[in-house]
Amino acid sequence: MEDINILIVEDEPIIAADLEDRLIEMGFGIAGQCSSGEQALELVQRQAPDLILMDIQLDGPLDGIETTKKILEKHAIPVIFLTSNSDEATFARAKATLPAAFLGKPFRGKDLKHAIELAISRASETGTPVPPAPETEQTYLFKDRIFIKTRDRMVRLFFQDILWLEADDYYCKLVTAGKEILITQTLKQIGETLAGVPELMRVHRSYIVNLAHVEEIGDLYVYIGKKQIPINKASKNDIISRLQRI
C-alpha cells in the first residue's frame, strides 16, 4: 500500500518515530510528520495526504480536534484520532468531527493497521464524507419521503423503498433494493429524525427496519429477503403490535 500516504501529527518525537516505523513496516507511505496543528494545516495545504493519524494533545494553540475541524473545512480526508486522554468530554468533541477511528494509547499495531485499512476501504468505496452540515440541514422529512444529505448533494428516498438502516461506527448505512447509501449521521441521530414514520422501527441497537418489508419474524431475528437482522429480546411483541397499526 505504498501508494497510500499517511500524515502523522504527533507531538511526542519518540511516538512519532515509532508510528512512522510501524507504518513503513505495514507497507504505507509517509506523507509527512509534524508536531503541531499549525504545521499540519500547512502540510495538508501543500499536498493533501490520503489519511491522517492525529494526536489530540498537540503543541501550540490548536489541539488535534480543532486542527481536524479546520482541515475538513477544505479537504475530505479520513482522520484517525490517537490519544491517551479518553474522558467523555474529549471523546464527544472528537466524535463531532466524524473521525474514521478513535484509538486510545497505547494501542496494538494490529488495531492500528485494521483501523487504517477500514478507513481507506470506506473512503475508496463510498467517498470520504465531508463534515456534515448542522442537523437541520442534514435531513428534510416530508409526508412520504426524506431528503438526506450525502457528500455534496441531497438524495431523495421514499419511505416505502427503505429496507433497513444499519449502524456503521459514527455513520450509518441505508439500504434499498437497488443501492446502499452511507449517511454521515449515527443510527441514533437518523432514528430520531424518522421516529414519526410508523413503518420504520429500531429493533436492535444496530438496526432500524422497515416493517413493511419484513418477511419472517423469529425470537432473535427478522428477515428481509436473505438479510438476517437481529432483534432485541423484547422487540418481537412490539413488532407484531406495530405491524397491526401500519
pLDDT per residue rounded down to tens, the chain (246 residues): 557 899 999 998 989 999 999 999 999 999 999 999 999 999 999 989 999 999 998 878 899 999 999 999 888 899 999 987 667 777 888 888 888 888 888 778 888 988 898 888 777 655 544 444 333 345 778 888 998 876 567 888 999 999 999 997 667 899 999 998 888 778 888 888 898 899 999 999 999 999 999 999 998 999 999 999 999 877 788 898 888 887
pTM, full prediction: 0.53
Question: Out of 3.40.50.2300, 3.30.9.40, 3.40.50.300, 3.90.580.10, which CATH number does the structure's domain 5-125 have?
Answer: 3.40.50.2300
Kindly provide the b/e burial profile for residues 196-205, where b requires at least 16 CB atoms within 10 angstroms of the residue's own CB: ebebbbbbbe
Whether 41 and 71 have beta carbons less than 8 Å apart is answered as yes
Domain ranges in the chain? Answer: 5-125, 135-243
Q: What is the predicted pLDDT for the residue at 34?
A: 95
Domain 135-243: CATH superfamily is: LytTr DNA-binding domain (2.40.50.1020)
As a whole number of angstroms, the distance between CA 23 and CA 116 comes to 10
The burial class, CB within 10 Å (0-12 / 13-18 / 19+), for 189 is middle
